Amino acid sequence: MSDDATRTSDSYFETVEVGETDRTEARTITEADVVNFAGVSGDFNHLHMDAERMEDSQFGQRIAHGTLVFSVATGLLWQSRSEAERESLVAFYGVDDLRFVGPVVFGDTIHVETEVVEKREKPEHPVAAGVLHTAAEIKKQNDAPVITCEFLSLMQ
């Protein structure tokens, strides 16, 4: 495939600007989410499953898996993408600086706030124009951050 066929002059990667921000819709994390995630992942840690034991913990109740919250956040991000952005996405390239900075309990509602922080061209890639670096904060309903990270996306 020629460069002309895979990279157009008005590609999403070329038009998106460093500094652009976005906020996703919100989603409530439920007990059913946590139980289902435990079954799928095999992570039955008492932090997520043992209500009696967690009553006396620093959290006072069970908390959701950080990886569940991260997974829900990626879904919220996909749902918030424009058609142009969806069509330009080649692949999820990775995540840098992932930190779980606060707990999510059953009934908390999360959303994601993002900012494009870097665009790195990738001329050697056969399809992608470059890597888009997007800083993300996953926050609860009170705007307290629960996860911070930087998403890397291969984009046309």
| DSSP assignments along 18-79, one per residue | TT-EEE---EE--HHHHHHHHHHH----HHHH-HHHHHTSSSSS-B--HHHHHHHHHHHHHH
101: its two tokens: 């900075």
- The pLDDT score that the predictor gives to residue 5 is 42
- The pLDDT score that the predictor gives to residue 9 is 53
Residue 145 above 80 pLDDT? yes
- Output the average pLDDT for the chain: 94
Q: What percent of the chain has pLDDT over 90?
A: 92
Q: pTM of the full predicted structure?
A: 0.90
- The pLDDT score that the predictor gives to residue 11 is 84
Can you state the percent helix, strand and coil of the chain, rounding each to 5?
30, 35, 35
Contact 147, 114 (CB under 8 A): no
Confidence of residue 1 (pLDDT cuts 50, 70, 90): very low
Question: What is the C-alpha separation between 15 and 34, in angstroms, rounded?
Answer: 39
Place of tokens 């898996």: 65
117-125 average pLDDT score = 96
Burial (Cβ within 10 Å: 0-12, 13-18, ≥19) of residue 31: middle
Confidence of residue 7 (pLDDT cuts 50, 70, 90): very low
Question: What is the C-alpha separation between 125 and 57, in angstroms, rounded?
Answer: 49
Which CATH number is associated with domain 18-155? 3.10.129.10
Residue 3 above 50 pLDDT? no
The answer for residues whose C-beta is within 8 angstroms of residue 15's C-beta and 6 or more apart is: none
What residue segments make up the domains of the chain, in order of their start? 18-155
Residue 57 above 60 pLDDT? yes
